[in-house]
Amino acid sequence: MSKLLVIVPDAISAIIVKGEYQPRYYNPGNLFEEVHILMCNDDQPDPRELQKTVGSARLFLHNLPETPQYFIQNTTWFKPWLLQPWTKPFFWYANRRQFRLLNEWAQPAVELARQIEPDLIRCHGNDSNAYVASRIKKELGIPYAVSLHINPDINQRRRNIFSDAPSHEKLFAMFFDAVEIEGLKHADIVLPVYKPIIPYLKRARISKYEVAYNVLAGDYLLKKDDYTLHKPIRVISVGRHFYYKNPENLIGAMRDLPNVHLTLVGDGPYQADLESLAHECGLEERVTFLPAINNDELCKMLPEYDIFAVHTEHFELSKSVLEALLTGMPVVINRRVGPGGRVPELQGDFVMMVDNTPAGYAGAIKKLIEDHALRVNLGRKAYAHAQERWSPAKTEAKYVEIYKRILAEKGK
């Protein structure tokens, strides 16, 4: 019986509530007959809600809660002067001590793998879970693959190494940088889910990687065939509302778009401020806030809108933008000004790039409203471009091919 061990750092119950799981997410192509999911926490998701993620395979759930002392102990004696470049050998010695503690924490997972005898290990994300996989491989020789969903050099924790963050936060960031790279360098393959992650892998000297895009909701992504404008015209924006994805300028653009209704799907720390902004601009009747929608329902809703517009400074190809492109929505997105530069996957004439200002968004939306041919062509180009590269069938098949290749190399 073919067996897969999946190791995740996430609280799976929260993902189930959001409705973001796709069929066979943990078992692409129904390749394995038995799937074991090991959670690095004490989460207890309902197996019935999770069964679709492994297809027809038998599902088993396990827990390996992170124990704080294994991650915090032995760092308290560090001093700020240890952050100087010439002290790197001392810090590496400290990491070695920490790794011994992490090895103790990971040992039950090694014993679990010894009992299960999986053919392959897959880590979704690179946290302590990939370190666990590296320990299993070291003792049992089981191959593993790690998917990366962000560029760690650009997310907040990594930036703390180089910022004015307090010394203890810098030390914590440096330690986890070493832990994450340890998990990656022993992997049989690393799977960044978009190209903006590659610079981090090069910095970490990881050579065994292959871009493999996220598998999205194939059964619910309906093609937009009718580009006739609604009355009022419907604009939708999807994303978490915080500093790097703040849609305030999109709300501001609504003052110059009297026949447009904006729907903002998402929640976050900026939610109250955004609602206040809409009130101050007198837009309560033309801006709707939907804090949460089941992902399958959201995908089915997209073709009912006329334009998809979003602000993001993240160096990524986000899931929400991918879904809009795969549907054939005319997409308006800001030009990034943050670290990393432009997102490689978003270069081309299938999206409309704008300055992150109210005038930038208003101007682009006006063009799409007034020029029917432009709007139709943009949507159709988006659909063709996305289906060629990121269709759910193609992305799922990519993971199946990678898994089979690893198993063949290991003689499985």
Could you report the per-residue pLDDT of 23-64, keeping only the tens digit for each? 999 999 999 999 999 999 999 999 999 999 999 999 999 999
CATH of 233-390, one of 3.20.20.70, 2.60.120.560, 3.40.50.2000, 2.60.40.730: 3.40.50.2000
Query: In the chain, where are the structural domains located?
Result: 3-216+393-409, 233-390
Which among 380, 247, 238, 250 is positioned nearest to 298, based on CA atoms?
Answer: 238
Same fold, 3-216+393-409 and 233-390: yes
Show the tokens assigned to 380.
């159709």
For residues 4-9, give the mean pLDDT: 97
- The predicted model scores a pTM of 0.89
Amino acid identity for residue 197 in this structure: I
pLDDT tier for residue 246 given thresholds of 50, 70 and 90: very high
Percent of the chain scoring above 90 in pLDDT: 74
pLDDT, position 102: 85
Angle of CA points 174, 178, 183, to nearest 5°: 145
- Which CATH number describes the domain made up of 3-216+393-409? 3.40.50.2000
pLDDT, position 219: 84
